Amino acid sequence: MGGATGEKPALIRWEERDGQKVAVRHDGRLAAQLRPIRMEVGVLSNADGSALVEYGGTRVLAAVYGPREAHPRHMALPDRAVIRCRYHMAPFSTAERKTPAPTRREVELSKVIREALEAVVLTELFPRTAIDVYMEVLQSDGGTRTAAITAASLALADAGIAMRDLVAGVAVGKVDGVLVLDIDEIEDNYAEADMPVAMAPNLGKVLLLQLNGVLTHDEFVQAMELARKGIQTIYKLQKEVLRKKYVEVTEEGGE
């Protein structure tokens, strides 16, 4: 939650639809609707794998290098690869003044994203190597960490690194007492609760779960179900964009 000051805008209005009262959000979405999502892989020619992911106005670029020889060498592990992650918000990504140097929040998010990716990458296949994952937030409009982990997972797959499953993420918030999926920045600023979630859907595992604010037990259960459904949709989009790329590669190879 952003902790915004000033007069709070109207973020939820109630409308009568088909005889029922429905919560409509400030941007016209219903509570369980995602923002428009766009994904692309192979966007950087100099990286081994890359992806661009957009959740509405949030735009994140991810690049993967490796597996490659670990530097410095003393960091190499004899039985598996080391995954190194850097989540960073570009100074031009937000309206607020931001230092180019990594902030404490960025260091923390780099760590939790690395831990989520370690659960799916088959690091044991690449001993004594390093896999570097860079996530650059180009434009911030809420949900940057979940868009970043979705982009990082796609970039790893684009690099051809063996994985148990893809990882997809989305944030659920509580705004004006209503649980909403995929909160944007203005909702995040005034939310009573913000809960980023990332899952490996095919493994049935939750790999990232953070909660800022307070939810009741029932609200938490509902929020997890909302996140699960949103992540399933994002997961399908991830698979479609990868399938599309490899179909194109196969067709080009057959020419």
Decide if 229 is inside a domain: yes
Owning domain of residue 213: 36-250
Decide if 19 is inside a domain: no
Decide if 127 is inside a domain: yes
Mean pLDDT of 80-84: 96
Mean pLDDT of 107-129: 96
Domain count, the chain: 1
Decide if 90 is inside a domain: yes
What's the mean per-residue pLDDT of the chain?
94
Decide if 137 is inside a domain: yes
Residue 168 has which token pair? 């997809």
Q: Residue 91 pLDDT more than 60?
A: yes
115: nearest Cα among 232, 206, 234 = 206
* Backbone φ/ψ region at 241: left (φ over 0), alpha (ψ -120 to 50), beta: alpha
Quick one: what percent of the chain has pLDDT higher than 90?
84
Backbone angles phi, psi at 212, to 5 degrees: -105, 130
* Alpha helix positions (H), 34-134: 104-118
What is the layout of strands, in order, in the sheet containing 37-41? 37-41, 49-55, 58-69, 129-139, 82-89
Per-residue model confidence (pLDDT) at position 9: 87
| Amino acid identity, position 252 | E
Per-residue model confidence as pLDDT tens digits over 118-128: 999 999 999 99
Per-residue model confidence as pLDDT tens digits over 182-195: 999 999 999 999 99
Q: Quote the pTM value.
A: 0.93
Decide if 190 is inside a domain: yes
247 CB-near residues (< 8 Å, 6+ apart): none
The CATH number of residue 162's host domain is 3.30.230.70
Task: Indicate the pLDDT class of residue 8, thresholds 50, 70 and 90.
Answer: confident
| Amino acid identity, position 147 | A
